[in-house]
Structure 1
């Protein structure tokens, strides 16, 4: 069994909790509170900005041109493609995308970014990828799960979001990322593989908490919410 297959099996409990979360199920049912959608976009916009920075850090640790090209393509995907599902949410709540940009990260999203930054600074390339991988992988499976469970038609309010993440491009990207991690895990020591497992597990947990953060509109206890970039 490959390393990433083992990771997926070991984290089935978290994946199931994500699939069953009220926000995720609300996407499938076509009904999510507007405030939750807005809170999600505010946090995810800044989270994805940080995600691109961490891809850049992965490039600095890469040893082959193939890996450099892969991470460079991932930055391009986040920068130019993942705006489409965000726009779908914005259209549903009638708010312009630009109006939801530049907000400080809520506590959970802030912790998630710092968790990935820690592994990017302190670990090798395999550890960085292990921390990054749950984001595209859980979204791919959410899209597939919702497409199967709800079979949304094109007039479904969140059809663009669901179809985007269930798409072959996301599947191919996730598989390529898994292949890189499998290769690095094969070359790693047992101690390094345990660090990869721990990074992956925590990122899975934080993906679940990100949905909860958005659904409850989580905020800092004392917050001034001045619009600033991450």
Structure 2
């Protein structure tokens, strides 16, 4: 099977994720700023745990080749992506200290610990199945928003977010990772017990993404 088979197996959840109201409001530029600020702070905390998960991939890898495959992701997260996120947050008036001192929301804890638990309890493929909805989903969302005629670009406070995830650098990086994931899935029958377990992991992580968007929207009700 391929990762697209996993998406197809949880089609309704996937659509709720990539077409969530949070995403639609980003595209229109109508998302309340307090919602976006809450999302940015929680995403920083998420990325720290995401880096731990890719470090776990090195531990779980059985071959030197697979260990090397995971290393660039760890470096990218720690050396550039998180640093870029901190710089981006500074444009919104959030310092690195603000981000570090933020408490993890329930959705953030649930999602990140689920990914780590899936990796600890399973093997490398299980871990990547839990990680995949985030990277692949953001690439799908970024590309769709950048190409849609309904997306407001000029004067949109969230333009840089849309352009970053829809941009060539992010799209290329995700495509490379997705190709590697497909290689790992190639010999697995989606209808087998193994395949269905991967569907369950992928679907659960996708549902966690929906909850992550929703907790951002809910921030406007808690101010």
Q: How far off its partner does 1:195 sit?
A: 1.7
Aligned residues: 218
Cα displacement string for residues 68-93 of structure 1 (whole angstroms, at most 9, x for unaligned residues): 222111122222125435644552x4
Deviates more, 1:20-29 or 1:75-84: 75-84
TM-score (norm 1): 0.83
Q: How does 1:65-80 map to 2 (within 5 A)?
A: 65-79=64-78, 80=80
Q: After TM superposition, which residue ranges in structure 1, 4 or more long, deviate above 6 angstroms? A: none
Cα displacement string for residues 90-123 of structure 1 (whole angstroms, at most 9, x for unaligned residues): 52x4333442333221111111112111111110
C-alpha distance in structure 2 between counterparts of 1:70 and 1:153, whole Å: 35
Aligned to 1:225: none
Q: Could you say what the CA RMSD is over the residues aligned between the two structures, in angstroms?
A: 2.5
Aligned to 1:166: 166
Aligned to 1:119: 118
Unaligned runs of 5+ in 2: none
Unaligned runs of 5+ in 1: 220-230
Cα displacement string for residues 25-72 of structure 1 (whole angstroms, at most 9, x for unaligned residues): 121112321221121122111111011111011111113333222211
Deviates more, 1:181-190 or 1:68-77: 181-190
Assess, with a 3 A threshold, how the Cα gap between structure 1 residues 15 and 89 changes in structure 2: closer, same or farther: farther
Cα displacement string for residues 9-40 of structure 1 (whole angstroms, at most 9, x for unaligned residues): 22332232223322211211123212211211
C-alpha distance in structure 2 between counterparts of 1:216 and 1:72, whole Å: 35
Q: Secondary structure at the match of 2:219?
A: coil
